[in-house]
Structure 1
Amino acid sequence: MNPLLKAALRLFAAPRVNMREDYERVRRLQRQLAALPRPRYRAASWRTIPGDVTSRVPVRVFEPQERRRDELLLFFHGGGWVTGDIESYTPACATMAELTGADVVSVDYRLAPEHPFPAGLEDCFQIVHRLLEDPSLAGRDDADRIVLMGDSAGGNLAAAVSLLLRERGYRGARQQILLYPVTHWDHDPATAPFESVRHHGEDYRLTSTEVQDYMQMYVPDPLARQDPRVSPLMAEDLSAQPRTLMITAELDLLCDEGEAYAHALEAAGNEVRIHRVEGALHGFITLPRFSRSLRDAYEVINTFLDEGHLAGSRETPPGGTA
């Protein structure tokens, strides 16, 4: 990256925002930015997944103008478990539906600090579990067509849900797409095990200070941050996990830990594909659809889904039977 662009990006570095004090203001700003210009999509509707009334979690459903595949992308948004919601991610989900040709279901899980760990995770788990057990709730007759997907903290939640499904003895998803996820608990440049935290933790869109603030709000107990449900890389057993696409961003402090998790999944016998988007910053999935980074990622995502569709009849879903 040339020095002029790098200097410009430093102006937007997150240490200038104290997330623990300003998260509500950031939430409002995100919603305002997402509403301008007004996103275009064929359909968006609120639903709740039937179940115990105390555990209903709202979702928003996005349909592409032209449906080109049967998969349903069950999406968990990013935002450090603290910011982000269905409204702020509506443009990204509408783009997701159009560029994949698949229905997208965006999950409105509870946010910290009002609802710390494991509240948001349990919301995501309940949605995934119910849809895998009864895909007709999502208009599907085959649970293998449900693909877990998330970016950043949402990628963390998708990975953690997959681990929980196996741990609790339930059927798992056959495929998951993890976009620059959080997979480890330590993002202090002085102690973190990953060089990308030191190389990219101060200059770009997401900083180590911001991630540490998010982690403190999501999991107030420092010891609990090493729980595999928070830090999937800490899991002792990564077997029987979904076929996984790991997409990382070259200039993201989370790049190394995302790829480390992918390699750990592969070492445990899972099918994994890793793709690093060159020159990309954290959060690029929310960029306009003409962005090179976004187009690069969706080419890989569509190939992954196409290959998974062809292989689907020969595979056994994690925790289930063919």
Structure 2
Amino acid sequence: MGCHPTASDRCSRYSIRSDVLKGSTAVVTSKTEMRERRSSLSVLSRLMPTIMRLRRSNKDHLTRDHVRRYLDRTTRHPQPSAPPSRLAKGVTLTSREVHGWDVHTVSPSGASSRGAVIYLHGGGWMNEAAPQHWSLVQQVAREASVDVVLPVYPLVQTGGSAETVTPIVAELARDAARPLVLMGDSAGGTIALSTSLLLKDQGSPADLTVLISPALDMRMENPEIDEVQPFDPWLVKNGQLLLTEMWIGEHREDPILNPFLGDPRGAGELIIFSGTRDLLNPDTRLFVDAARAKGANVTYYEQAGSLHVYPILPTREGREARRAIVEAIRRVVTVH
């Protein structure tokens, strides 16, 4: 399972770490080591941390108070959640309402659909889908010849929570065509994995779950998160903790709603992407280690020196990761 980081391996382009270290996540803890890892990145990837800092990408979750002010502002002035007004060539869009949610489906226009992807967008459970999410959804639909379903799930400022959102996503998944792929980035990765675990328990597991820089442990107690913090220009633990608390509520120890605690054996194939300049990377490594020890089918792509959700960023590394995602989905829908 997975890809072995040999010089001749096609997967070596992704700087994959195939075997997570036992008892440690071997996080980057020095500026010298970070500079050495950055040297193999594309120019744009090396510039990304500076770009993020100049844009103050972490300004809305620097502290709990920053998060509260942002949630108050977006409650009074909600973000638009409609799909883009113009779609890429080769796809069509349909929309419907399910349990009060808008549910959008992007389908290939030049070929018959061969399966379904349920895509859960990220954004800290406080932001609607961004243009990068819609771009990825359209690429997957077009290049893998699948229907991609993007539900507009309720955010925490409107009462959305793991307990209320996950069952409805599982219902959408059960009603979707097969083969079935669950996919999500960041906070959406939490929902995707929780849904995958719930479907397994209900006897109808997904064929594949793809996680992009997922938030896996709602407790955020791993001490190595603090060691990564100085190198992450995007996520801030202080603010993220409030969001995770709002999302998980009283279910911190629930092995489905807090998916870090779940057992992915029997939940279908699992593919995970993570960059090392990401607060969520230490928990991702521990989860992969534990899942493999249990015998789960896990493929892990780790990009040294890259940021949170690097597969949806406009970098060479992001493009390569997106190609790997499309190839994996295409493979799954072809063999079933």
1:106 paired residue number? 150
Q: 5+ unaligned residues in a row in structure 2: which ranges? A: 1-33, 39-45
1:301 maps to amino acid: I
Residues 19 and 120 (structure 1 numbering): CA distance in 2 closer, same or farther, change over 3 Å?
same
1:185 maps to amino acid: M
Residues 83 and 61 (structure 1 numbering): CA distance in 2 closer, same or farther, change over 3 Å?
same
1:159 maps to amino acid: L
Residues 302 and 186 (structure 1 numbering): CA distance in 2 closer, same or farther, change over 3 Å?
same
Identity, % of aligned positions: 23
1:316 paired residue number? none
**Corresponding residue to 1:127 among 157, 169, 172:** 172
**8 Å contact 1:201–1:208 — kept in the other structure?**
no
Is residue 10 from structure 1 mapped to residue 39 from structure 2 by the alignment?
no
198-207 or 209-218, which deviates more: 198-207
**8 Å contact 2:107–2:148 — kept in the other structure?**
yes
1:229 paired residue number? 256
Residues 100 and 166 (structure 1 numbering): CA distance in 2 closer, same or farther, change over 3 Å?
closer
1:258 paired residue number? 284
Q: CA deviation at 1:278?
A: 3.5
Distance, in Å, in 2 between the alignment partners of 1:157 and 1:78 is: 9
2:244 paired residue number? 215
Q: CA deviation at 1:281?
A: 1.5
Question: Per the alignment, in what secondary structure is the counterpart of residue 282 of structure 2?
Answer: helix
Distance, in Å, in 2 between the alignment partners of 1:70 and 1:165 is: 21
Aligned length: 285
1:94 paired residue number? 138
**8 Å contact 2:192–2:209 — kept in the other structure?**
yes
**8 Å contact 1:182–1:231 — kept in the other structure?**
no
Q: CA deviation at 1:83?
A: 1.6
56-65 or 242-251, which deviates more: 56-65
1:173 paired residue number? 206
2:21 paired residue number? none
**8 Å contact 2:218–2:248 — kept in the other structure?**
no
Q: 5+ unaligned residues in a row in structure 1: which ranges? A: 50-54, 136-142, 314-322
Deviations 1:103-134, CA, capped at 9 Å, x for gaps = 31111222213224211212212211222xxx
Is residue 249 from structure 1 mapped to residue 275 from structure 2 by the alignment?
yes
Deviations 1:68-87, CA, capped at 9 Å, x for gaps = 97232211111122222488
Is residue 183 from structure 1 mapped to residue 226 from structure 2 by the alignment?
no
2:69 paired residue number? 21
Distance, in Å, in 1 between the alignment partners of 2:299 and 2:145 is: 21
Q: CA deviation at 1:196?
A: 4.3
2:30 paired residue number? none
Distance, in Å, in 1 between the alignment partners of 2:328 and 2:280 is: 22
Distance, in Å, in 1 between the alignment partners of 2:79 and 2:132 is: 6
2:23 paired residue number? none
Residues 279 and 75 (structure 1 numbering): CA distance in 2 closer, same or farther, change over 3 Å?
same
Residues 47 and 285 (structure 1 numbering): CA distance in 2 closer, same or farther, change over 3 Å?
farther
1:300 paired residue number? 324
Distance, in Å, in 1 between the alignment partners of 2:60 and 2:118 is: 33
Q: CA deviation at 1:59?
A: 1.5
Residues 102 and 130 (structure 1 numbering): CA distance in 2 closer, same or farther, change over 3 Å?
closer
**8 Å contact 1:110–1:119 — kept in the other structure?**
no
Q: CA deviation at 1:56?
A: 5.7
1:271 paired residue number? 297
1:72 paired residue number? 116
TM-score by length of 2: 0.72
1:271 maps to amino acid: N
Is residue 205 from structure 1 mapped to residue 220 from structure 2 by the alignment?
no
**8 Å contact 1:57–1:123 — kept in the other structure?**
no
1:320 paired residue number? none
Deviations 1:175-224, CA, capped at 9 Å, x for gaps = 1111111111233xxxx325244313664112212321211322344xx2
93-102 or 74-83, which deviates more: 93-102
**8 Å contact 1:60–1:86 — kept in the other structure?**
no
Distance, in Å, in 1 between the alignment partners of 2:306 and 2:144 is: 20
Which of the pair has the greater relative contact order for Cα pairs under 8 Å at 6+ separation?
2
Distance, in Å, in 2 between the alignment partners of 1:46 and 1:69 is: 17
Question: Per the alignment, in what secondary structure is the counterpart of residue 62 of structure 1?
Answer: strand
Distance, in Å, in 1 between the alignment partners of 2:101 and 2:131 is: 15
Provide the aligned C-alpha RMSD in A. Answer: 3.3
Distance, in Å, in 1 between the alignment partners of 2:330 and 2:135 is: 24
1:60 paired residue number? 104
1:46 paired residue number? 95
**8 Å contact 1:277–1:297 — kept in the other structure?**
no
